[in-house]
Amino acid sequence: MKVKIHTLFQYLLDTTQADPEAFIGFSLAEPPKLGDFLDDLDPDMSLDWNLKSFRGLPELRQRVIDQAGLAGLCTADDVVITAGAAEANYLAFMQLVQPGDEIITETPGWPQIEVLAKARQAQVKLVKRDEANGWDLPLDQLENLITENTKLIFLTNPNNPTGKLLSAQDLRRIAQMADKVGAWLIIDEVYAGLEWTADRAPSIAGIYERGITTGSVSKALGLQGLRTGWLVCQDKNMVMDAIILRENSSEIMNVMGEVIAEVALRPDRLSKALDDARRDSIATLEYLDRYITSEPKLSWHRPEAGLIGLARLSAGIDGDLFAKRLLAEPYKTFLLPGSAYGLSNHIRMGVGGGASAKLELGLSRMSELLAKW
């Protein structure tokens, strides 16, 4: 079956032309400029393929291992550089899941795997995060969903859209559950690096032999346009299968993305970028938290990590209608409705994007609309 559009992408398509004046939905740190990297780039660099490896630039693969704390657990040969975490998820899913297989994913969560599973005619089971309990992932419920037919479990950590974290202990327990039936476990870490309530969680590729870590430079580093991400897995066949599928789609990585991402992940540069992003983001997150606390028609569980969270609208306010009115004149403010995650009474709020997002302006317009509702 062909891949069908998801509500989240439909909303983005419908609103691309809207030209908003403010954003309350940015999910990534303020993007650096090309000029920030020029001193570290070689003008004589060839724009051919990297000429070194079909897995991706070796130096970049080592940086990926180091930034994830995987040194000593995984090697650079366990890494495939991909066009973002999105391609990493795609390659892993398509090579692992066959029609009729059972997969488990979370709701609310990143919809990519559910969309692919439907097209693949795999059976999807959803583990429901518990809003009353701060969007906790109920591990007992997950355990009950797992059967001998479970081929793959896909989770995000930190979770998109709630910013909830899984701890090292949670991850070990989930790996044990998966191991009992030989299931693969993808943990998408695209939002890792900006944790507010705990240290960054360990990567699953270092915990479980059938664990696949996916990630990218898109979110905490704001480098989404580079289209550079990765997949890490200790299973040599899985890694080779990903390379084989990639050879038949995008073939190889874009060398500019690889080279700039390698510079961005150099330890000094990475720690400064994360420090800056943390400083700016936490201040904005506190501001948003105060706003939501003082707004009687909104409530939320403040995200434990990352730049986005889900807010609940008071009863009777439809998230879709609200997001569309807020985007229209005179408010011209963008946010993502909860329907993108199957929740009609919620909206996704985000604090990324830096000053150009004009969050303050967006929130004041949102208050005007809420007051009229």
Ligand X SMILES: Cc1ncc(COP(=O)(O)O)c(C=O)c1O
Give the residue with the Cβ less far from ligand X, 160 or 234.
160
C-alpha–C-alpha distance, residues 138 and 41, integer Å: 47
Closest CA to 350 of 15, 21, 30: 30
Structure tokens at 293: 């606390």
Sign of the alpha-carbon torsion through 167, 171, 173, 177:
positive
Compute the least distance from the CB of residue 185 to ligand X, in Å. 15
Give the residue with the Cβ less far from ligand X, 188 or 262.
188
Give the residue with the Cβ less far from ligand X, 110 or 291.
110
Give the residue with the Cβ less far from ligand X, 50 or 224.
224
Compute the least distance from the CB of residue 161 to ligand X, in Å. 8
Structure tokens at 30: 């303020």
Compute the least distance from the CB of residue 146 to ligand X, in Å. 22
Compute the least distance from the CB of residue 336 to ligand X, in Å. 10
Q: Does 234 bind ligand X (CB under 6 A)?
A: no
DSSP 8-state symbol, 249: T
Size of site (CB under 6 A) for ligand X: 13
Fill in the per-residue mask, 101 to 130: x = in contact with ligand X (CB under 6 A), - = not in contact: ---------x--------------------
Give the residue with the Cβ less far from ligand X, 88 or 97.
88
Compute the least distance from the CB of residue 263 to ligand X, in Å. 18
Q: Does 229 bind ligand X (CB under 6 A)?
A: yes
- In this chain, which residue has its C-beta nearest to ligand X? 84
247: Cβ contacts below 8 Å, ≥ 6 apart: 54
Which residues 158-217 are close enough to bind ligand X by CB under 6 A?
160, 188, 190, 216
C-alpha–C-alpha distance, residues 35 and 227, integer Å: 18
The answer, yes or no, to whether the previous bond of 111 is cis (omega within 30 of 0) is no
Compute the least distance from the CB of residue 221 to ligand X, in Å. 10
Give the residue with the Cβ less far from ligand X, 86 or 174.
86
Give the residue with the Cβ less far from ligand X, 306 or 354.
306
- When binding is defined by CB under 6 A, the residue of 224, 234, 281, 339 that contacts ligand X is 224
CB–CB of 119/6 below 8 Å?
A: no
Which residues 296-335 are close enough to bind ligand X by CB under 6 A?
none
Compute the least distance from the CB of residue 32 to ligand X, in Å. 15
DSSP 8-state symbol, 211: E
Give the residue with the Cβ less far from ligand X, 189 or 317.
189
C-alpha–C-alpha distance, residues 360 and 343, integer Å: 25
Closest CA to 345 of 306, 297, 305: 297
Structure tokens at 239: 């890694």
Give the residue with the Cβ less far from ligand X, 155 or 178.
155
Burial 71-108 (b: 16+ CB within 10 A, else e): eebbebebbbbbbbbbbbbbbbbbbbbeeebbbbbbeb
Structure tokens at 218: 């898109």
Structure tokens at 229: 């991400």
Type of residue numbered 114: E
Which residues 20-39 are close enough to bind ligand X by CB under 6 A?
27
- The separation between CA 280 and the C-alpha centre of its own chain, rounded to angstroms, equals 20
Q: Does 157 bind ligand X (CB under 6 A)?
A: no
Q: Does 156 bind ligand X (CB under 6 A)?
A: yes
Type of residue numbered 354: G
Compute the least distance from the CB of residue 244 to ligand X, in Å. 20
Fill in the per-residue mask, 63 to 102: x = in contact with ligand X (CB under 6 A), - = not in contact: ---------------------xxx----------------
Binding-site ranges for ligand X (CB under 6 A): 27, 84-86, 110, 156, 160, 188, 190, 216, 218, 224, 229
